[in-house]
Amino acid sequence: MSSLDLLLATTAVGGLATFNIHSGFNEALLRGYRLGFLSDQEYHHIQQCENLEDVKLNLQETDYGNFLQNETKISPSTVREKCLDKLVSEFEYLRANADQPLAQFLDFITYDYMIDNVMLILKATLSNPNVTVSSLIEQAHPLGRFKASTLKSIVAFENSPNGYSELYQSVLIDTPIGKYFHEVIKESLSESSANGNSGVTNFLKEMPTTKLENLLRKLYLEDFYYFCKGLGGETGDVMCQLLMTRADSMAISITLNSFGTPLNDPTRRHSDRKQLYPSIGLLYPEGIENLSLVGDEIELGGVLRGYPSYFSVFEKHQYGDKSIDDSFYEREAMLNELAFEGQFNYAAFYAFVRLKEQEIRNLVW
């Protein structure tokens, strides 16, 4: 190892010299939390259950303990809610004990769920003007909670295009994900001005919520990627790999789901559809350029043939063995498990949350 490599190994995040000083306690907690994942044997016992009461009894023997003891009536939604409460409690304890830059890293994890929560509210209110936002707040993911004052402002906004405009300009812009909304709106308004239209209200009327969600997620992944890359060390190496894989799966899913929709029109593939692809990942830039030109699954398979790991996922989808989303979930879970194999890095914190989310989905299913 050269002197430069030694210097980088001992000063970057994940370096041997200072990691335990700043983040050793949190990593020890995380390793303890990891022991609470359900084992294969525990999954087997739960699969043999005939009703939810049996599930409750079996979960009492696991790390979940008596988390359902005060529930008189159990449903899959109750199980999900209580499992998420446990996850949030553990995550918030990690966050409360975190120094910088780990604290900022953990905050980045929550931004993903903040986007989900805002889009939940926007989609529901646009499709049903009579829906009450307060009822939607109860469905929101607890890891993406906003401050109490922000929640009150969201609940109070008028369910109309003008109300959405005020929501963006006076509420969302001041949240941690406000910068992503700002970038999307700025880009959209510059295009609208060129066509003779302007204003946030027109933007909200014209942009589909699915497109807005994809653009926000793209900006989030890119922002998180460059933050992790700046941290350097093993954190940068492992996290960049995880985020690039997620960005690639997003680009492939967008392409596949666009078939049979206006986005697959030859005049819109290279403009509107390509705009949704993240500018990071193993596919970027050559693969992304090729994805923006494909018009059907055969052409998509031809592009992915140059990326064996993704082509194997696509083949499972083509043969009907698994949906492409399920295949990508499996691949992501495998990479997240590998993130625990290293030490002195932040990637395991991200992997823990993602794997715990998958465990909760398994239980609810």
240/27 Cα distance (integer angstroms)? 20
Confidence of residue 6 (pLDDT cuts 50, 70, 90): very low
Confidence of residue 200 (pLDDT cuts 50, 70, 90): low
Q: Which residue has the higher pLDDT, 220 or 209?
A: 220
Confidence of residue 201 (pLDDT cuts 50, 70, 90): low
Give percent above pLDDT 70 in the chain.
86
Inter-residue contact 220 to 111 (CB < 8 Å) = yes
107/100 Cα distance (integer angstroms)? 11
Report which of 13, 31, 32 is spatially closest to residue 22, judged by C-alpha positions. Answer: 13
Give the lowest-confidence range in 70-74, 151-155, 251-255, 359-363.
Answer: 151-155
What is the arithmetic mean of pLDDT over 342-359?
Answer: 92
Q: What is the DSSP string of 277-300?
A: S-S-STTTTHHHHHHTT--SHHHH
Rounded (5°) CA angle 183-246-143: 70
Tens of pLDDT, residues 121-149: 777 777 777 777 667 777 888 998 877 67
- pLDDT reading at 219 higher than 70: yes
Give the lowest-confidence range in 88-97, 139-148, 255-264, 335-344.
Answer: 139-148
Which pLDDT value is given to residue 109? 96
- pLDDT reading at 202 higher than 50: yes
Tens of pLDDT, residues 255-281: 999 998 988 998 888 888 999 999 999
- pLDDT reading at 196 higher than 50: no
**Residue 205 half-sphere exposure, CB side, CA atoms within 13 Å?**
10
Which pLDDT value is given to residue 185? 80
What is the arithmetic mean of pLDDT over 84-111?
Answer: 94
311/299 Cα distance (integer angstroms)? 12
Average pLDDT, rounded, for the chain: 84
What is the arithmetic mean of pLDDT over 340-354?
Answer: 92
pTM for the model stands at 0.88
Which pLDDT value is given to residue 3? 43
210/124 Cα distance (integer angstroms)? 12
Give the lowest-confidence range in 198-202, 280-284, 338-342.
Answer: 198-202
Confidence of residue 1 (pLDDT cuts 50, 70, 90): very low
Q: How many CB atoms lie within 10 A of CB 313?
A: 22
Confidence of residue 319 (pLDDT cuts 50, 70, 90): confident
Which pLDDT value is given to residue 4? 39
- pLDDT reading at 203 higher than 80: no
